[in-house]
């Protein structure tokens, strides 16, 4: 009999594989979009053991290279097919018997799950995909699991799955591969960013490369896949915005002593309890904007403000932004701070400009 520990392991794996899925059978290609749609649950027998086979597909059927890449992930290199629909048929044909789940009285404790999900993109240019394959099998008192998954980008322009080397410069590719080791490297992109992620020491590492900020890190291929004119316009808009911001900063803080000008101050302004207390307060009160977090946007926002003679903070501005939502959160955070200990000059409290870096990172 199966031990309690192994029963618990199997239960956990069953939950991961989505136990309780509604039984539906649908397999069609939408002519207008060329999308293959499959949502199906079957009971299938192999080697006198029953499997519950779940298939969820939302995929472009018209690209043979895309279908070959997907079937390779699902079924292995030897069974790769230019048609995902045919690949699924061949895979199911390998079972001894395939029936509706309701006709099988035996408890189906084994699972096979195949997921192909179109994650968005720009038709005629690039398509983001997630492909996942999971199999849970029971052998006596033991259980085994196969798990393959990958996020990738299909390059419609060149009819191929993008590799890191297609998009990023060689030195950056070498660095990413060296850090990822033998783990799967996932990729996705939109009109502003190219994202890379992989597992390291059991945790996901995510890196986001912004087209207008990281132009020197990309190959020329990226210019064919995204609206590069829009990228360059965004870069020019940011430069103009920064110039305007710099002018506003000079007008707002002109003539105010900076906290770094130690020769002009007897005492620099400070947060109650000092720098360590300020770091702890910021950590507890920072609210990471959900949309920016979902997009993987991280980094630093630099705010400037004036510590008034009574310790109040005024003229709070972002002098180095990162993202509109993150910039707004940095302003909110500074506005919420308690009164500071003001700076002193010649024995009197004076107005002092202070620059503060607010760090946004995934916790």
191: in domain: no
> In which region does residue 39 sit, left (phi positive, over 0), alpha (psi from -120 to 50) or beta (all else)?
beta
Q: Computed from CA positions of residues 53, 58, 62, 67, in that sequence, does the dihedral angle turn out positive or negative?
A: negative
Q: Encode pLDDT of 168-213 as tens digits.
A: 999 999 999 999 999 999 999 999 999 999 999 889 999 999 998 8
127 and 263 part of one domain: no
- How far apart are alpha carbons 18 and 52 in whole angstroms? 11
Q: How many domains does the chain have?
A: 2
Question: What is d(CA 37, CA 39) in angstroms, rounded to the nearest whole number?
Answer: 7
Domain that holds residue 134: 4-161
The tens digit of pLDDT for each residue in 73-93 reads 999 999 999 999 999 999 999
Both 139 and 37 in one domain: the answer is yes
Domain assignment present for residue 169? The answer is no
Q: Is residue 173 part of a domain?
A: no
Please say whether the beta carbons of 340 and 271 come within 8 A: yes
124 and 241 in a single domain? The answer is no
Q: In a 10 Å sphere around its CB, with 0-12 CB exposed, 13-18 middle and 19+ buried, how is residue 283 labelled?
A: exposed
Strand 203-210 to strand 257-258: parallel, antiparallel, or no bridges (unpaired)? unpaired
User: What is the dihedral angle through the alpha carbons of 297, 299, 305, 309, rounded to the nearest 10 degrees?
Assistant: 120
Residue 308 lies in a domain: yes
**CB-CB contact of 313 with 307 (8 Å):** yes
The pair of structure tokens assigned to 230 is 């829009």
For the segment 334-346, the average pLDDT, to the nearest whole number, is 96
- Domain end, chosen from 100, 130, 161, is at 161
Reduce the secondary structure of 112-160 to three states and give it as a string: EEEEEEEEEEECCCEEEEEEEEEEEEEECCEEEEEEEEEEEEEECCCCE
Question: Is residue 212 included in any domain, yes or no?
Answer: no
Averaged over 291-314, what is the pLDDT? Answer: 91
pLDDT digits (tens, 9 = 90+) for 209-240: 999 889 999 999 999 999 999 999 988 988 88
Decide the pairing of beta strands 49-60 and 110-122.
Answer: parallel
Kindly list the strands in the beta sheet with 313-320, ordered across the sheet, starting from the edge strand earlier in the chain: 257-258, 352-360, 299-307, 313-320
Strand, coil or helix: what is 346?
coil
- The average confidence (pLDDT) of the chain is 87
Which of 113, 129, 161 is the last residue in one of the domains? Answer: 161
Whether residues 147 and 59 fall in one domain = yes
CA 2 to chain centre: 39
Of 142, 161, 180, the residue that ends a domain is 161
Residue 194 counted as domain residue? no
What does the pLDDT look like over 126-178, one tens digit per residue? Answer: 999 999 999 988 776 777 888 999 999 999 999 999 999 999 999 999 999 99
CA dihedral in degrees (294, 165, 181, 178; nearest 10)?
-100
The dihedrals phi and psi of 17, each to the nearest 5 degrees, come to -85, 5
Q: Domain for residue 222, yes or no?
A: no
Average pLDDT over residues 40-64: 91
Q: Which structure tokens are listed for 53? A: 């086979």
């Amino acid at each position: 009999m199966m031990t309690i520990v192994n029963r618990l392991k199997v239960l956990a794996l069953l939950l991961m594989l989505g136990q309780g899925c509604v039984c539906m059978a649908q397999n069609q290609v939408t002519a207008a979009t060329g999308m293959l749609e499959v949502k199906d649950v079957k009971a299938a027998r192999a080697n006198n053991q029953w499997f519950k086979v779940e298939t969820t597909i939302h995929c472009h059927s018209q690209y043979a290279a895309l279908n070959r890449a997907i079937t390779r992930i699902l079924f292995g290199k030897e069974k790769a097919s230019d048609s995902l629909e045919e690949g699924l048929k061949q895979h199911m044909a390998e079972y001894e018997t395939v029936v509706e789940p309701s006709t099988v009285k035996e408890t189906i404790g084994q699972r096979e799950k195949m997921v192909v999900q179109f994650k968005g993109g720009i038709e005629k240019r690039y398509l983001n995909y997630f492909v996942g394959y999971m199999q849970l099998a029971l052998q006596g008192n033991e259980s085994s699991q196969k798990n393959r998954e990958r996020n990738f980008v299909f390059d419609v322009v060149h009819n191929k799955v993008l590799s890191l080397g297609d998009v990023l410069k060689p030195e950056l590719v070498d660095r990413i591969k060296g850090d990822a080791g033998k783990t799967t490297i996932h990729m996705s992109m939109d009109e502003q960013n190219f994202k890379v992620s992989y597992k390291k020491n059991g945790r996901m590492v995510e890196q986001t490369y912004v087209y207008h900020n990281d132009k020197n890190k990309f190959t020329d291929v990226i210019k064919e896949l995204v609206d590069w004119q829009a990228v360059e316009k965004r870069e020019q808009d940011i430069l103009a915005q920064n110039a305007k911001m710099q002018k506003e900063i000079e007008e707002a803080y002109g003539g105010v002593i900076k906290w770094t000008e130690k020769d002009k101050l007897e005492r620099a302004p400070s947060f109650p309890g000092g720098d360590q207390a300020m770091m702890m307060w910021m950590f507890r009160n920072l609210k990471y904007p959900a949309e920016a977090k979902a997009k993987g946007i991280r980094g630093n926002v630099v705010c400037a403000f004036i510590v008034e003679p009574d310790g109040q903070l005024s003229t709070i501005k972002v002098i180095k932004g990162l993202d509109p939502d993150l910039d707004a959160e940095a302003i909110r955070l500074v506005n919420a701070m308690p009164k500071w200990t003001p700076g002193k000059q010649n024995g009197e409290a004076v107005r002092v400009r202070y620059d503060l870096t607010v760090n946004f990172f995934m916790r």
